[in-house]
Amino acid sequence: MNGKMVLIGVALFAAGYGVAWQQFRPPTEAPKVAEADILARVGDRLITRQDFDRVMQLRRARSPMLYRDRQQQEGLLAELVERASLLEAARKAGVADDPYVQEACDRAKINLFVKEKVEKALADTRLTDEEIQDYYQQHQDEFAIPARYKPAIILLAAPPDQQDEAAWARLQKQAEDILQQARQLPEDLTHWGDLARTYSQHRASRYQGGAMAWVNPLQKGHAALPDKVLDALFALKTPGEIAPPVRTDKGLFLVRLQNHEPPRARGLDEVRQALAYRLRREKREQMKQAVLEKYLGAQAVQSWPERLQAKENQDKPAGGPPAMPGHALTKELKQ
């Protein structure tokens, strides 16, 4: 971590806990505090019971069991003393005037301001049964259970030289022979039976008749089978039906549909909690945009973007390449 990022870290810390410790406020502005409420002195500064309680409650909001015993509370006080000492040293060193710190503090303040306004608006908003019902009707397909398929496969491994078309032709001939034998399998058998054990080079399934786990279209790109094989499987409709051989980098796949379950809609009661969470999240985004528009629109703003071009021309080195766009702070914050 370089020096500037350390400064940004100090600034963010100050934005989060600065009110409690008054880190950049001159000592003469500190309010009067009863002696019994002073928990520590750091130079001319005080850490009061109010400061301590504020930080403790802030952390308990995330972990309610924190600081329940005396030892933990003394540890927190020691931490506050240590950090207040560093913040005071940073103030005396002029860290508060550093542009990187000011930028980070400004962003923290804006984020906190917007969050508080959005949270207050959300607290005053209740999802009605009608809203939930309407949202369910509009997004019913998104909450449905997708169709799923249970495949059985035989894998004829690819030749060592995948450019050897004669070797592929021999695999194709072998696949056609296996398909011919499959027509003699019992009608109630939907996997490959002994044919998988005899011919398949897929170790995980060959001794189970080539049977594999259920898959659905949402698993494409993440399933154990290549997407081309899944496409062939999903085109099958009847248990026992066989797809044409599928050529992949792994070899030729023979695919048979063992079983199939159509998509199923979920009732509102099944998805109410997930639906309410999504609807509330969407409302949060809408309210955030409304807050931004409200406060951005409340200011008298004048902007002259055309002047940027004139500044760029002034900064351009004579006889050299143009300066790289972007601001160093923006680049650092993105890292």
Q: What is the pLDDT of residue 25?
A: 43
What is the pLDDT, as a whole number, of residue 22? 41
pLDDT at 121: 76
In angstroms, how far is CA 323 from the centroid of its own chain? 35
Contact status, residue 143 vs residue 275, Cβ threshold 8 Å: yes
Measure the CA–CA gap between 335 and 331, rounded to whole angstroms.
7
**Burial degree of 102 (CB within 10 A; 0-12, 13-18, 19+):** middle
How confident is the model at residue 90, as a pLDDT? Answer: 87
Residue 106, SS3 per DSSP: helix
pTM score, whole prediction: 0.48
Extract the residue ranges of the chain whose pLDDT is less than 70. Answer: 1-31, 310-335
Determine the pLDDT at residue 241: 96
Q: Read off the pLDDT of residues 202-216 as tens digits, 9 standing for 90 and up.
A: 999 999 999 999 999
Query: Can you state the angle between helices 49-60 and 70-92, rounded to 10 degrees?
Result: 110
Cα 29 to Cα 24, 51, 102: the distances in Å are 10, 16, 21
Contact between 122 and 29 (Cβ < 8 Å): no
Q: State phi, psi for 172 to the nearest 5 degrees.
A: -65, -40
Whole-number pLDDT of residue 315: 64
Residues 266-298: b if buried by 16+ CB within 10 A, e if exposed: eebeebeeebeeebeeebbeebbeebeeeeeee
Q: Which two tokens stand for residue 90?
A: 């940073």
Which run of H or of E encompasses 89?
A: helix 70-92
Nearest-CA neighbor of 86 among 75, 77, 95? 95
pLDDT tens digits, 143-155: 888 999 999 999 9
Is the distance from CB of 241 to CB of 254 less than 8 angstroms? no
Q: Please tell me the distance from the alpha carbon of residue 89 to that of residue 95, in angstroms, as a whole number.
A: 9
Q: Which of these, 285, 271, 287, 286, lies nearest to 137 by C-alpha position? A: 271
Q: DSSP labels for 258-311?
A: EEEE--BPPPHHHHHHHHHHHHHHHHHHHHHHHHHHHHHHTS-----THHHHHH
Q: Which residues of 31-68 are buried (b: 16+ CB within 10 A; e: fewer)?
A: eeeeeeeebbebeebbbbeebbeebbeeeeeeeeeebe
